[in-house]
Chains A and B, each alone.
Chain A
Amino acid sequence: MRQHSAFKVVGLHLAVIVAFFLAQFVLPDYHHLAVTRVMILAIFALGYNLLFGYTGLLSLGHALFFAAGLYGAGLTAFHLGWSVPAAFAAGVGAGFFASLVIGVVALRTSGVAFMIVTMMFSQVAYLASLYFTTYTRGEEGLVMPEAARHFDLFGVTFSLTDPSLRYNIALLLLAVTLIVVLIVVRGPMGRVLIAIRENEPRTLMLGYNTFLIKLKAFVISGTISSIAGAAYALLFAYVGSSFASIQYSIEALLFTLLGGAGTVLGPVLGTFAMFYLIDIVSGFTAAYLLVTGIALIALVLFFPKGILGTIRERWMTWLP
């Protein structure tokens, strides 16, 4: 039975990746770019979900890690002229350290205090991005120069201005992230994370060092978020303060809730649905954030398990 379900799980995730791969050949230009963005944002949501959906820790400050990746990659590429792979590594490294430091401090709290502390740290980072405006140009942001959009690898020159290369890099990153998340949550660590979510004192009593495991989840989650940030800076050549704002943290929460917290594919589906919903609504009104608000309220009131969470409950109990 377990073998059988593992086969279905791997098959489903492969099918999703293949579907994204095939989509690039049929999508018109506008949607081609939109789906590239969706894939990068989905990585952010996947990182968020590992902490919120699986470990039960609601962070209101994940924009900080996205921004760490964004600025880590963007500033090194813009000011120091680092090559694309080096800048990407700098962004992910920045995210790793930020999540390690903040995790050690913030995980001393729990419940409401954890939400507020993470939100405040992220607000500090947002204000910092405004304060060091000489380097970041604050809200206005930086646009990557042409030179920072080419890189050589194995003797071949790649140009990130090429939409189809961008699409496939985003897809590659998404696929790797999906596989990593799948391995984490289906492995022993995932079981302990869920145990912590359901009952932390009991998990502690069973002999697990819950602080250390939560810290691991926090760091993996933050680092994945920074991968999304670094990729965003390099692929779309723009770095700005708005990505560090509280609203961005809330978007990750919304994507995850909509798709289904605690399901592997939920955040991907949630990002896709919400991105297009907002895309359509902002065609009618400038107050498109109204949709965000209504969606948040409606989800917690009527639909707390999200799309995939409900599907898993009703029909596909094997869904990871």
Chain B
Amino acid sequence: MLATLEGLLQAAVLTLIALGLSLVFGVMRIVNVAHGEFYMLGAVIAWFVASLLSLHPAIGFFLALVISPLLVGLVAYASERLILKRLKYDPEATIVATIGMLYVIQQVVLIGFGPDARPVEAPFYYRIRLPWFGYSAYNLFVMAAAVVLLIGCWYILTRTRLGLIMRATQFDSETAQAFGIPVDKVYGYVFAAGAMLAAVAAVLIVPIRQAHYLMGLDPLLLSFIVVIIGGLGSLRGTVVAALIIGLSDGIISVFFSPTLAKMLSTLLVALVLVFKPEGLFGAKAR
């Protein structure tokens, strides 16, 4: 039971991160290797907001939930305008540039934040006590928040004009341009939005896991796995795959060592990408 709940928690956070990656890949056709660093930056900024202002933990946390994604979005937007746009989204050049961004963000945080892991206080402590076991209410809050955010994303993507513009750009950017959609602006905002999703996930999880300058690497690989299994750019696939990976990661780790579990899942995903590149749940490539 506890393992399932931990798995669901992992899945909730992973879905948000992977959705950001998937959105950026889907609309812009670029692989953002720095995505995990936006997640890390989100957690680190949350620590700064929560600890430097020395307010009540709850106020600090909710302030961080607003400020951190905004700042991360700003960083992402600036780097998109200054770097990726100038590379004209060439796949090879952008992947090299985002690798560079990964190092720059990570090392700047190392200089400014230091090599220690630092905790952020949860906004509330409450244990739900059931006759057979107790569980932290905050963890349930994280899952609920992730579900709300996902429904929000789904609504925006499928039911609003904004979502229509994004889907049009994803489907065929040249035609979208011809119909007067400012594709260039859409790219900038989508890149920022993808990073902000990762930052929100980070703020939500940072009271449970600590903020650390290397915390972005594991979620990066996991969200690659999720996005590939789920099919690139498919929202439903991403959610399903994140649930599978999040849950199975916890369960597999019970039977195998975590390293072996990671090894096998990475190998499996590499083979999926080779032999079934549209993903297990994605539609056939257009």
Contacts and interface: CB of A to CB of B under 8 A. Distances in A.
Interface of A: 58, 60, 105-106, 108-109, 111-113, 115-117, 120-121, 123-124, 127-128, 130-131, 250, 253, 257, 285-290, 292-297, 299-301, 304
A257 B99 CA distance: 13
Contacts of A294: 100, 103-104
Contacts of A127: 259, 262-263, 266
Contact of B103 (A105, A290, A300, A301): A290
B137 interface: no
Given A297-B97, A300-B97, A304-B93, A116 B259 contact: no
B78 to A, nearest CB: 13
B-side interface size class: 35 or more
Interface in B177-198: none
Given A117-B270, A121-B270, A293 B104 contact: yes
Given A293-B100, A297-B97, 15 more contacts: A60-B95, A113-B273, A120-B267, A121-B267, A127-B263, A285-B111, A287-B110, A290-B107, A290-B111, A293-B104, A294-B103, A296-B103, A297-B100, A297-B101, A299-B96
Interface string B68-105: 00000000000000010011000111011101111111
* Most chain B CB neighbours (cut-off 10 Å) among A127, A130, A131, A294: A127
A106 B271 CA distance: 9
B259 A113 contact: no
B157 interface: no
Given A106-B274, A109-B273, A109-B277, A297 B104 contact: yes
Interface in B242-278: 257, 259-260, 262-263, 266-267, 269-271, 273-275, 277
Contacts of A304: 93
B106 A289 contact: yes
Contacts of A108: 274-275
Contact of A117 (B83, B86, B101, B273): B273
Contacts, number: 110
Given A124-B267, A290-B107, A296 B274 contact: no
B224 A257 contact: no
A285 B111 CA distance: 9
A262 to B, nearest CB: 13
Closest 7 CB pairs of A and B: A293-B103, A296-B100, A297-B100, A290-B107, A293-B104, A120-B270, A287-B107
B103 A289 contact: yes
A301 B83 contact: yes
A301 to B, nearest CB: 6
B117 interface: no
B102 A300 contact: no
A300 B107 contact: no
B273 A300 contact: no
B221 interface: yes
18 contacts: A58-B95, A111-B91, A112-B95, A116-B228, A116-B270, A120-B270, A121-B267, A127-B259, A128-B263, A130-B259, A131-B260, A131-B263, A289-B103, A296-B99, A296-B103, A297-B97, A297-B101, A300-B93
B31 interface: yes
Contact of B257 (A112, A124, A131, A253): A131
A116 B31 contact: yes
Contact of B96 (A106, A112, A289, A296): A296
B221 A300 contact: no
Contacts of A116: 31, 224, 228, 270, 273
Contacts of B107: 287-290, 293
A288 B108 CA distance: 10
Nearest to B115: A286
* Most chain B CB neighbours (cut-off 10 Å) among A117, A285, A304: A117
B276 to A, nearest CB: 11
A19 to B, nearest CB: 30
Nearest to A286: B110
Nearest to B213: A287
B93 A109 contact: no
A67 B275 CA distance: 26
Given A290-B107, A293-B107, A113 B96 contact: no
A271 B102 CA distance: 21
A250 B151 CA distance: 38
Contact of A120 (B87, B106, B273, B277): B273
Given A131-B257, A286-B110, A293-B107, A105 B274 contact: yes
B31 A115 contact: yes
Given A109-B277, A285-B111, A124 B263 contact: yes
B259 A131 contact: yes
A163 B67 CA distance: 56
A112 B30 CA distance: 8
Contacts of A290: 103-104, 107-108, 111
B111 A115 contact: no
Contacts of A120: 224, 266-267, 269-270, 273
